[in-house]
Chain A
Amino acid sequence: MTRYIIRRIASVIGVVWLMTVMVFGIVHLLPGSVAHMILGEFATADSIALLEQRLGLNDPLPMQYWRWFSGLLRGDFGNSLTMERPAGPILIEALGRSAILAGISLVLVAIIGIALGVHSAVNRGSSSDRALTLAQYAFISIPEFFWCIVVILVFAAWLGWLPATGYTPLAEAGVLGWARHLVLPVVTLTLGLIAHVSRMTRSSMLEALDSQYVLAARAKGLAERFVLYRHALPNALLPTITVLAIDMGLLIGGIVVVETVFAFPGLGRMLIYAIDNQDLPLMMGGMIVVTSVYALANLAADILYATLNPRIRYGGSAA
């Protein structure tokens, strides 16, 4: 088990490092000079030369990479070109806000998704199962950005219940004001994922319910409730952990879209801003931060999976 965790941590480090190489490589190796990209096509030769001088773009690439990478290791992401201040603190602040959005969404997705999936499986073939299946179909097929438009239209524009965009820190607006800005982004983010998670939970729960050990538990005369929650559910949840980890990737995609639409000042919006404005240090840093978060989330899921699965926890045979 310890060895397994060490191996997984090593692979997380590997992934993040590889991402630094890829991000750097793509930015610097693609045709067209970086300075040109930043200053736009009407830049003068002088201004390009000046910028190249300032950013050290004339140094050999490995040296540039090492300068950037060693900076990352020290927590120095370089200076944002458009905001003229260190990119690190900007990214950390944005990450904090996105983490709130992602955290709340993930918890809701897990709880509601699993609950609905279990309900469907236990009442297989019932009218509520069929209704849920239909809803899952629909919700999996609706892109987040379209949800954004719809909920803004309904709750902000027509009903006027909630603010359409923006964000106020907890300290300024109090819990209610803070939460009001979170409702619509969270709803938008979670609808599709809940459908996905509940669908996958339903099928793994059905598989568990059809298993011999559940039949054996029934033959032991255990109460049905107990058969469901003690025997079937824990085994059915193992694959759900993997599904949740995969959905983290979708969630990150969703966050980029949702933050952009709701003008929510998180990491996703920051990334799009950096791309739109060709703020390379900010963009490169943002990508590294997102990759690291995703890799760590996957690591957490793998460790959770291993802890809950005795076949991994106690690998070899005993007795």
Chain B
Amino acid sequence: MSAALALPRGRRLPRGLILGGFAIAVIVVLAVAGPWITPYDPDAFAIRERLQAPSLAHWFGTDDFGRDVFSRVLAGAHYSLLMGFGATAISLAIGVPLGMLAAFHRGWVDEAVMRGVDLMISIPPVLLGLLILATTQPSVAKTVISVGIVYVPIMTRLSRAVALGLLAEDFVDAARARGDGAVRILWREILPNAWPPIIVETSLRITFAILLGSALSFLGLGPQPPASEWGLMIAESRPFIEQAPWIALAPGICLCLLLVLINVVGEGLRDLLDPRMQGRGHG
């Protein structure tokens, strides 16, 4: 732990972070504005225009019901964002307090939380999702919640490790020597220093959440037709894959693009915030 932890003032932001962040912002705006700016109604059938190749009228072509793929992709963007950010928010909201609690209360609380985490981690993530979704009617909310729960143990473990590291720092002992209360120590000493590593991990978790969420949708365990979730769109395109590959490629490429952008931002944040990446080369 060194000075590098503090956000370095005046240091240039990594280019990837700026470009990636800007691109993601554009996607978020498009996703929010989707319903108003789509050129066609994403759910409107036009059987006569089915399976048309991309053209000026239909940028990404049309699907087997003649729906405009571009409109559908645009209308579907919010699902991926919701799954990525929503699920990660859930895992943060549960995992970080749990991890902090475990770090502050060594002993049986810590023991109980960590054994629970160990058990959850011993179950393959996709299975946990399947288990929750298999037995109930699938819906967007349930997918988001299941994916969020899957990543709770990882967030718990991370925030506990970060908090334990900080609790061993002398400045926390200095606070205890002043008799500062637990809440103040958590708020003033731990959290301001804990967020950089947690944010870095979170940004990388978002891509995993999107991947898992769209895979579950692809398997039919997410939003139901006629929703234009990208994973679901790809699943529905399979019978026509040879005739009309654009139905699959358009949402697939958009999904990959979103994931790459989030990864770029995540790596940029890591470069900026992770102390291990800085100050290398001191003898």
Task: Identify the A interface with B (CB < 8 A).
Answer: 11-12, 14-15, 18-19, 22-23, 26-27, 30, 37, 137-138, 140-146, 149-150, 152-153, 157, 248-250, 252-253, 256-257, 260-261, 271-272, 275-276, 283, 287, 290-291, 294-295, 298
Q: Return chain A residues, CB-CB under 8 Å to B259.
A: 140-143
A26 CA to B123 CA, complexed, in Å: 15
Contacting A at CB under 8 A, from B234-283, are 234-235, 237-238, 241-242, 245, 248-249, 252, 255-256, 259-260, 263-264
Q: In the complex, are the beta carbons of B123 and A19 less than 8 A apart?
A: yes
Q: Return chain B residues, CB-CB under 8 Å to A37.
A: 135
Q: Return chain A residues, CB-CB under 8 Å to B249.
A: 149-150
Contact with A along B22-52 (1 / 0, CB 8 A): 0000000000000000000000000000000
Assign chain B's interface to a size class.
Answer: 35 or more
A291 CA to B256 CA, complexed, in Å: 29
Q: Return chain B residues, CB-CB under 8 Å to A153.
A: 241-242, 245, 248
Q: Return chain A residues, CB-CB under 8 Å to B214.
A: 143, 145
Q: Most chain-A CB neighbours within 10 Å: which of B124, B126, B132, B134?
A: B124
Q: In the complex, are the beta carbons of A143 and B131 less than 8 A apart?
A: no
Q: How many A-B residue pairs have CB under 8 A?
A: 116
Q: In the complex, are the beta carbons of A146 and B136 less than 8 A apart?
A: no
A38 CA to B113 CA, complexed, in Å: 36
Q: In the complex, are the beta carbons of B126 and A149 less than 8 A apart?
A: no
A138 CA to B260 CA, complexed, in Å: 6
Q: Does B220 interact with chain A (Cβ within 8 Å)?
A: yes
Contact with A along B173-211 (1 / 0, CB 8 A): 000000000000000000000000000000000010001
Contacts A137-B260, A257-B215, A294-B123 hold; do A30 and B136 have CB atoms under 8 A apart? yes
Q: Does B118 interact with chain A (Cβ within 8 Å)?
A: yes
Q: Does B104 interact with chain A (Cβ within 8 Å)?
A: no
Contacts A145-B218, A146-B252 hold; do A252 and B241 have CB atoms under 8 A apart? no
Nearest CB of chain B from residue A225's CB, rounded to whole Å: 25
A258 CA to B123 CA, complexed, in Å: 20
Contacts A11-B118, A253-B215 hold; do A275 and B255 have CB atoms under 8 A apart? no
Instruction: Please name the residue on chain B nearest to A293 by beta carbon.
Output: B124
Q: Return chain A residues, CB-CB under 8 Å to B221.
A: 275
- Select which of A140, A143, A295 is within 8 A of B215 by beta carbon: A143
Q: Return chain B residues, CB-CB under 8 Å to A294.
A: 122-124, 127
